[in-house]
Structure 1
Amino acid sequence: MGVFEEDDSVKVSTLVKLWVSEGFLKPMNGKSLETIAIEFLQDLVDRNLILVDKVGHTGNIKFVKIHDLLRDLCLNQSKKDGFYHVIGQSSPRGISSQHRVVIPRNTPKKKVLDDLQSMPHARSIISEYGNVPRIKNSGLLRTLHAYKFHHYFEDESLLKSLASQYVNLRHLVVEVGSMSSIFTSFTRLWNLHILIVCCWKEFTAPAEIWRMPQLRHIEMTERSFYLPEPSSDDVVVMENLLVLKSIANFKCSEEVVKRIPNIKKLGIKYFWRGGIEQDDYYCLNNIKLLCKLKSLSVMCWNFRASLYVLTFPQSLKKLNLSINRGFEWEKILGKIGALPLLEKFKLLRGCFGTGKWEMVEGQFPSLKYLELGPCPSLEHWTAESNSIFPRLEKLRLVHMELKEIPTQIGDIPMLQKIWMDYCGESAVMCAKEIVEEQVEIQGEDLPFHVQVKLSCKNEAVQSLAGPNFEVICDS
C-alpha cells in the first residue's frame, strides 16, 4: 500500500493484479489467485489495517485507503527491508540493488533519470509519472504499471522495442498512441499475465494472442480492439484467461468457446458492418456455453437482429446491456429474469414496443441492483403480484418518462435507495406516493431513501422534499 500516493483511493482490482503479477500469492484449495487475493484483502479490512473507501452496488469492496500513519510504517519498513525504493527518497541500502521502483507523480525529471539509470536490477516499475525513460537491463522487468505513460512511447523506436526487450514482463499497464508497434514482436511476451492498455486508436490484435496461455486479463480502455478468430491449427487452450474486455464485433464461435473455458468477465462492443445478413453471424447463442462467466457487458450502437438470440449462462451475476433504441427488450427480458444468480442488471437504451413492462412473480430472484434508462418508450411499469425483486437493495432510473412505478417496490424488505436522475414528473410523483404509503405503514424512520435529481428548477417537484425524499437541482 505504500507505493500509492498519500490519501489515494486505491482500486481493489489494481491491488489484486499487482499481487498476482508480483508472485505474492500461491494457489490454495483450487481457488483462483484473484479469489485468494480478495480473501487476504478482506482479512486486512477485518483487522482495520485497510480502510474501505467505496463499496460496489452489490456489496463488494471497490476502493480502499490506508491511514497516513500506517502508510508511513509501510514506507519505513520497505526502506529498512529494501522491499521497494521510492524515487526521490534516500535508501539505507543504496539504490543499485533495488528490485522494485516507485515513481511518485510529482518527482523531478532529473531525479527520475538519475535513479533509474542507477538501478540495473529493477524487476518492477510502478509509476504515476508521465515521461519515464528506458532503463538498463530491461529484460529483467516483470511489472510495468504506469498511469500516464503516453509520452514514454512517443518515440517509435522505444515503442517497437517494448515487446522485444521486456521478455519477462508479466504485468503491462500503459497508455500508448498506437498498438501496432507493440504487436510487431508481441509473440515474445510469453510470460505476460496482465495486458491493460489505454489506446486512442482502434486496432486488430494479432492472432498469436491465442497462443499465449499465461494471459489472465486482456483489456483496452478508450477504444475497443478486434480479436481475430483462432486458427483450427492452434491447440492452445487459454485456461488462465479470466477477463476479456473491450472486444469489437466479438464472434463467439464454438472454436472461441473452447479456447476460453474459464472466462469470468466479458465485455463486447458491436458496430455496424455491411454485408452481414445472417441472424446469428456473431454466434451469440454460444455465450451460454461459457459456464463460468460471472460478468457480461454488451454494447451495440447499431441495431442487429442477431442480438435477439443472446443467451446467458446460469452462472451470470452481472449483466450490462446498452443497445440502440430499435431493440425491443420484451423479447429477451424473460430469459434475463430467469437467471438464478443475477445480482446486478443495467438495461440501457433500447425500447419497449408495447410501452409496458409487467413484472412476473419469480423473476430476478437474486437481483440487488437495477438500473434503467434512458428508455423513453417505457411508460407503464407494473407488477402482477406483491412478490417482486425479493432481494433488491438499490434502484436507479435515468431519463425515464414513466407514468407509473410498481407500488410493490416500497414493500421490498431489503430496499435501501432509489435514485431518479432527470425523470419525468409523473414518475417522481409516483415515487413520492410510494414513500408516503410506506411512512403510513412503517413510520418516518424508513429503511430506504429516494433521491431525485433535476436538470432545472421545478417548484412542484421541489415542494415534495422531505426526510425520506431528497430533491437536488443542477441549476
Structure 2
Amino acid sequence: MGVFEEDDSVRVSTLVKLWVSEGFLKPMNGKSLETIAIEFLKDLIDRNLILVDKVGSTGNIKFVKIHDLLRDLCLNQSKKDGFYHVIGQHAPRGISSLRRVVISRNAPMMEVLDDLQSMPRARSIISEYGRIPCIKYSRLLRTLHAYKFHYFGDESLIKSLASQYVNLRHLAVRVGSMSSIFTSFTRLWNLHILIVSCFEMFTAPADIWRMPQLRHIEMITGGRFYLPEPSSDDVVVMENLLVLVGIANFKCSEEVVKRIPNIKKFGINYFCRRGIEQDDYYCLNNIKCLCKLESLRVDCWDDFVASLYALTFPQSLKKLTLDMNDYFQWEKLLEKIGALPFLEKFKLWYGCFGTGKWEMVEGQFPSLKYLELHSCPSLQHWTAESNSIFPRLEKLHLDDMRQLKEIPTQIGDILTLQKIWLENCGESAVMCAKEIVEEQVELQGEDLPFRVKVWLPRENEAVQSLAGPNFEVYVY
C-alpha cells in the first residue's frame, strides 16, 4: 500500500493484479488467485488496517484507502527490509540491490533516470502517475505498470520488451502503436496480465492463443482491437484466462469458446463490416456455453446484428451491460434477461421500445440489485402487473429518459430499495419518484434509508420546490 500516494483512493482491481503478478499469492483449495486476493484484502479490512473508500453498485469493494500513520509504517518497513524503493526518497541500504522501484507523482525525471540506471536488478517498475523513461532495464523485469497518463516514451523499447524480457508477468502500458507490443510477442511466455492503452486500430497475432499463462487481457482503446480466431492446429486451452475486455468484432465460434472455458469477465464491441451479411456470422449464441461467465458487456453501435435477438445468456451471469444502436428493440430480449437467476447488475443503454412500453411481469429479475436505463427516448410507459417486481433492488438509475412518463409505483414497496437517481429526466418521471418518497415517509417516517436524487440541466422552479430531506434536487 505504500506504493500509492498519501490519501490516494486505491483501485482494488489494480492492487489485486499487482499482488498476482508479484507472486505473493499461492493457489488454495481450488480458488483462483484473484479470489484469494480479495479474501486477504477483506481480512485486512476486518482488522481495520485497510479502509473501504468506495463500494460498487452491488456492494463490491471498488476502492480502498490506508490511514496515514499505517502508510508511514509501510514506508519505514519497506526501507528497513529493502522491499521497494520510492524514487526521491532516501534508501539507507542503497538501491543497487533493490528489486522494486516506485515512481511517485512529483518525482523529477532526472532522479528517475539516475535511480533506474542504478538498479540493474529491478524486477518491478510501478508508476501510477507519470512517465517511465527510455532506458534499458534488467532482463529479469517482471512487472511494468504504467498506462494511465503518459505514453511510454520509446516504441523501440516496447519492442525490446516483447523480445527480451521473457520474465514479464504484468505488462500495463500506454503506447502509440500496437505493433510495438506484438513484435515477438509470444516470447513473453510468462505473461499473466496484459493491459494496453492505445488509439490505433490493430489485429493481434493469432499466436496469442498459444500463451496459456494469460489471465487478464484488457485493451483500453479509442480505436479497434481485433483478435483473430485460433488456428485449428492449436491445442492450447486458455484455462487461466479470466478477463477478456476491449475486443472488436469478436467471433464466438465453438472453437473459441472451447479455448476460454473459465472466462469470468467478457467485453466485446461490434462495428459495421462490409461484406458480412449472415445474421449468425459472429456466433454470439455460443456465449451461453461460457458457464462461468459473471460479467458481460456487449456494444453494438454502427451496424445491426440480428442474431442478438436470439442470444441466450449463461445462467451464471451477475453483471450485464448492453449498449445498442437506436434500432435495437429491447422487447425481444428483456424476457430472457429477466429470467437470469443470479443477475445483480443490469445496464441498458440506447436502443428502443417499439411499443413505447415496458410491461413487467411477476418473477422477473429475482436477484437484481442495480438497474440503469440510459437514453431510451422511445420508452414512455413503464408499468408492472404485480407487486412482486425487483424483490432485491437497491438502486435505480435513470439517465436521459426525457419521454418517460411514469415509474412503476410498486418500486416504492421494495424493502431493499436505497436510492433512485434521475438525471435529465422529464417532470412526469420526477413526480412519480416524489410520490414514491412521500408514500415511504408516510409509512416509515423521515428517517428512512431511502433517498431520491434529481439532476437537472437547467433551473426548474417546479421541481426545485419539491426538494426535501429525502428528495434532493441539483442543477448542473
Deviations 1:102-135 (A, max 9, x none): 1112111111111111111100001145442345
User: Retained in 2: the 8 A contact 1:26–1:33?
Assistant: yes
AA at the equivalent of 2:12: V
Q: Tell me the residue number matched to 1:189.
A: 188
Deviations 1:72-97 (A, max 9, x none): 00000000001111111111211110
Q: Tell me the residue number matched to 1:388.
A: 389
**Normalising by structure 2, what TM-score?**
0.97
Deviations 1:426-454 (A, max 9, x none): 11111111222222222222331010110
Deviations 1:186-207 (A, max 9, x none): 0110000000011111211110
AA at the equivalent of 2:178: M
Q: Tell me the residue number matched to 2:448.
A: 446
Instruction: Give the gaps of 5 or more residues in structure 1.
Output: none
Partner Cα distance (1:394, 1:467) in 2: 18
Partner Cα distance (2:136, 2:330) in 1: 56
Q: Tell me the residue number matched to 1:161.
A: 160
Mapping for residues 139-150 of structure 1, pairs under 5 Å = 139-148=139-148, 150=150
| CA deviation after TM superposition for structure 1 residue 271, in Å | 0.4
Match of 2:459 among 457, 460, 464: 457
Deviations 1:201-229 (A, max 9, x none): 12111100000000000001133410000
Mapping for residues 202-351 of structure 1, pairs under 5 Å = 202-223=201-222, 224-302=224-302, 303-351=304-352
Identity rate, percent: 83
Partner Cα distance (1:175, 1:419) in 2: 35
AA at the equivalent of 2:120: P
AA at the equivalent of 2:203: T
Mapping for residues 409-424 of structure 1, pairs under 5 Å = 409-424=411-426
User: Retained in 1: the 8 A contact 2:382–2:404?
Assistant: yes
Match of 1:430 among 404, 426, 432: 432
Q: CA RMSD in A?
A: 1.2
Q: Tell me the residue number matched to 1:72.
A: 72
User: Retained in 1: the 8 A contact 2:147–2:197?
Assistant: no
Deviations 1:282-332 (A, max 9, x none): 111100000000000001112221221221000000000010110000001
Deviations 1:154-213 (A, max 9, x none): x34223212112111000011101111221110110000000011111211110000000
Instruction: Give the gaps of 5 or more residues in structure 2.
Output: none
| 2:377 corresponds to 1:376 | yes
Partner Cα distance (2:472, 2:137) in 1: 59
Partner Cα distance (1:375, 1:148) in 2: 32
AA at the equivalent of 2:261: P
Partner Cα distance (1:149, 1:428) in 2: 39
AA at the equivalent of 2:119: M
Secondary structure at the counterpart of residue 64 of structure 1: strand
Secondary structure at the counterpart of residue 69 of structure 1: helix
User: Retained in 2: the 8 A contact 1:322–1:350?
Assistant: yes
Secondary structure at the counterpart of residue 299 of structure 1: strand
| 2:82 corresponds to 1:82 | yes
Secondary structure at the counterpart of residue 140 of structure 1: coil
Q: Tell me the residue number matched to 1:466.
A: 468
**Normalising by structure 1, what TM-score?**
0.98
AA at the equivalent of 1:167: V
Tell me whether 11-20 or 301-310 shows the greater mean CA deviation: 301-310
Secondary structure at the counterpart of residue 291 of structure 1: coil
AA at the equivalent of 1:15: L
* Corresponding pairs, count: 473
User: Retained in 2: the 8 A contact 1:205–1:226?
Assistant: yes
AA at the equivalent of 1:315: S
Partner Cα distance (1:222, 1:446) in 2: 43
Q: Tell me the residue number matched to 1:33.
A: 33
| CA deviation after TM superposition for structure 1 residue 381, in Å | 0.5
Partner Cα distance (1:61, 1:71) in 2: 20
Secondary structure at the counterpart of residue 152 of structure 2: helix
AA at the equivalent of 1:300: C
Secondary structure at the counterpart of residue 37 of structure 1: helix
